Structure 1
């Protein structure tokens, strides 16, 4: 969460004090309504974090989401524009106002808007991936028949 504050000059989650323990901060981030995801810095980045809001939106368990190539969160037609936005964010360290189309585990499409992308750094300050957060999204199509309910 410190990376977001350094990148954007404000906390990732409004109203949370800076005097909480790392465990409290991790718990607050996991249960936040803001969707938060992070991927590593590999050639084909893999998700290394997804909070509960992300797991519910993509209809995946922690085990199915973490380790997934992050490009698979977008449908094939959207992957190039997604990659370009991530590269722009990498070059400037932080980017606000990103939007795009994503797909859940069943192929249902949704649009995200006003996402923030920023560089994830290890404890030594070395870039090791990227993080994304957004609170605004909507479905582009109705649920498919036979679709399982979202994860709780």
Structure 2
């Protein structure tokens, strides 16, 4: 389990991309206003009351970010999570639904209200609900991956 904010691992540009893409696509803030610079943003995302995860654009996308709550849910350290192909966050039976969801997100920019079953490293299953999944794209529209924010149902 993570014991501290992975400030030396996570690139601040990607964190800003998570927050900025969410606002651009949904018209809503992902976080309450964060005064200060990169360190304040890192802490606000890390301590958010909802799980936040993001993966890149690899052929088999790999997570590059999970906040404290996400890492607790998936029962992984930041280092383990940041090597995990995102498809492995869903149990095999739920992967088809996940693929369909990500295709909708790719077309529409974001999807709200998704629910689904996920699996922790121990094999424990947990439900996510009230999930928003969105494309990570910079201001020029260049894709950098996808992200999700959700509430766990424990």
What's the TM-score bracket when you normalise by the shorter of the two chains? 0.7 to 0.9
1:2 to 20, 23, 43: 20
SS in 2 for 1:86: helix
Structural RMSD (CA): 1.4
1:30 to 46, 55, 75: 46
Pair 1:138 & 2:146 matched: no
1:95-106 paired onto structure 2 within 5 Å? 95-106=111-122
User: What residue number does 2:64 align with?
Assistant: 48
Q: CA deviation at 1:54?
A: 0.4
CA distance in 2, matches of 1:10, 1:138: 23
The number of aligned residues is 136
Pair 1:109 & 2:146 matched: no
Higher helix share: 2
CA distance in 1, matches of 2:139, 2:68: 24
User: What residue number does 1:146 align with?
Assistant: none
SS in 1 for 2:65: strand
* Unmatched runs of 5 consecutive residues or more in structure 1: 140-152
Query: TM (normalized to structure 2)?
Result: 0.83
Larger radius of gyration: 1
Q: CA deviation at 1:121?
A: 2.0
CA distance in 1, matches of 2:49, 2:37: 20
1:119 to 125, 131, 135: 135
SS in 1 for 2:69: helix
CA distance in 1, matches of 2:25, 2:149: 13
CA distance in 2, matches of 1:90, 1:67: 23
* Unmatched runs of 5 consecutive residues or more in structure 2: 1-18
1:3-22 paired onto structure 2 within 5 Å? 3-13=21-31, 16-17=32-33, 19-22=35-38
Q: CA deviation at 1:138?
A: 2.0
User: What residue number does 1:144 align with?
Assistant: none
